[in-house]
Amino acid sequence: MTDRVPGNLGIENYKYGFKDPENYVFRAKKGLSKEIVEEISYMKGEPDWMREFRLRALEIFLRKPMPTWGADLSEINFDEIYYYIKPAEKQSKSWDDVPENIKRTFDRLGIPEAEQKFLGGVGAQYESEMVYHSLRKDLEKKGVIFLDTDTALRKHPELFRKYFGTVVPPGDNKFAALNSAVWSGGSFIYVPEGVHVDIPLQAYFRINAKNMGQFERTLIIANKGSYVHYMEGCTAPIYSTDSLHAAVVEIIVHEGARVRYSTVQNWSMNVYNLVTKRAVAYRDATMEWVDGNLGSKITMKYPAVFLMEPGARGEILSIAYAGKGQHQDAGAKVVHFAPYTTSTVISKSISQNGGRASYRGLLQVQKDAHHVKSSVRCDALLLDEQSRSDTYPYIDVKAKDVTIGHEATVSKIGEEQLFYLMSRGLDENEAMALIVRGFIEPIVKELPMEYAVEMNRLIELQMEGSVG
């Protein structure tokens, strides 16, 4: 029995590696200092409390050591990064106002205009500020707020202050502290009580400047009994020096509400993607993370759900693909604070061409959180013998009457499966792509159609020419 070496899956030939000429109104100096943070706050015309919040976070950032676990972050040089860039484009309200070169960028990303109109609102983050924002009128009438985070701070200061930083405090981890100090852009969503947003809200992020960290901050508040689905997609051009992306996403799901947050992350191969995503779910609320990690050099991302009151439910679905030179350290974190709460985690990973995919998860049941049910399932597919797959689940239980299960498997593509498909006339590439698609299908099917299509297209792209 010989091993088939599938060879190059082609992700190195990065599809979205184009770039527009840089054109900025303002660009802060490289590096990080108290002055830079104050300057960012000043440029944005922020209230005092936010400036103080930023400065406090900066202190925490400087004090906290780099994490010693997970992926290798030793090559990040915090002094070589621009922490704030204000692009030339002003906030636009209609599609016609969006500058040509940016439209071009979106076209090349494959989101046709018609499709965007179909979607509820498109917030496209170009660099650090939103350049395009629209929301269907009927949603606005219902009282749904969908703004970039900076504008939301100006327009809804009280609502903003009530929730901002409550789910992910600056002291949570080093990169959350960094984001808290220099955050810029991101989405702000507020859904009033009982409102059901039946079309997904979407924002596209792009990084477009050398050595530019992107530190967007997203805050989603779903009031009682409401529903919203937010989608975030990322693609970035290739640059020779490393880029840092350290976002924070905070979500508050009130009683009986449901929030779904979907991501397809496809950063270019030099991006460090270090993201803190966390949701709190109250009585009978449901939080769902759907997370796809395809690009980046290193990703460390563990979407979290804190289940605060009885009946709350958390669900995390994730896919990771690690190709040459990539380390996807992704996972999930669920903390059951209350009795009668439930959670499900499903993770699938694919490693190829020496890539390393790790699942790192924490499942914690706090004292007196009885009648908790939780199941975690991780499957990994290794496509060749140079690649690596790890599973690091941590399970801590401090309560009785709980039902906790964790399962993981690691396997390769079966010879028999390949043989069968090839005997039916598929070539080896197509057969492998089909099997890989089948492997991730349970998660892809949870994505809205356009995302599922894009996901499958990316996988196909990677499988192209994979047998050399």
State in angstroms the smallest separation of the CB of 282 from other proteins: 24
Please tell me whether residue 62 adopts helix, strand or coil conformation: helix
In the DSSP assignment, the letter for residue 401 is: S
State in angstroms the smallest separation of the CB of 173 from other proteins: 15
Distance CA 80, CA 86 (A): 18
**Quick one: 209 or 433, whose CB is closer to other proteins?**
433
Burial class (CB in 10 A: 0-12, 13-18, 19+), 399: middle
Angle formed by the axes of helices 428-444 and 449-463, nearest 10° = 150
Selection from 395, 390, 388, 387 nearest residue 378 by Cα? 390
**Quick one: 254 or 356, whose CB is closer to other proteins?**
356
**Quick one: 223 or 353, whose CB is closer to other proteins?**
353
**Quick one: 158 or 401, whose CB is closer to other proteins?**
401
Pair 389, 351: CB distance under 8 Å: yes
**Quick one: 4 or 103, whose CB is closer to other proteins?**
4
* Cα four-point dihedral sign 25, 26, 30, 32: negative
**Cβ atoms within 10 Å, residue 466:** 21
In the DSSP assignment, the letter for residue 75 is: T
**Quick one: 8 or 214, whose CB is closer to other proteins?**
8
State in angstroms the smallest separation of the CB of 221 from other proteins: 33
State in angstroms the smallest separation of the CB of 401 from other proteins: 5
Selection from 326, 241, 253, 333 nearest residue 291 by Cα? 333
State in angstroms the smallest separation of the CB of 169 from other proteins: 22
**Quick one: 397 or 452, whose CB is closer to other proteins?**
397
**Quick one: 75 or 401, whose CB is closer to other proteins?**
401
State in angstroms the smallest separation of the CB of 13 from other proteins: 23
State in angstroms the smallest separation of the CB of 22 from other proteins: 41
**Whole-number Cα distances in Å, 92 to 21, 65, 234:** 20, 40, 20
> Which residues sit at the interface with other proteins, rule CB under 8 A?
3, 69, 367-368, 370, 380, 382-412
* Cα four-point dihedral sign 66, 68, 70, 75: positive
Distance CA 70, CA 327 (A): 9
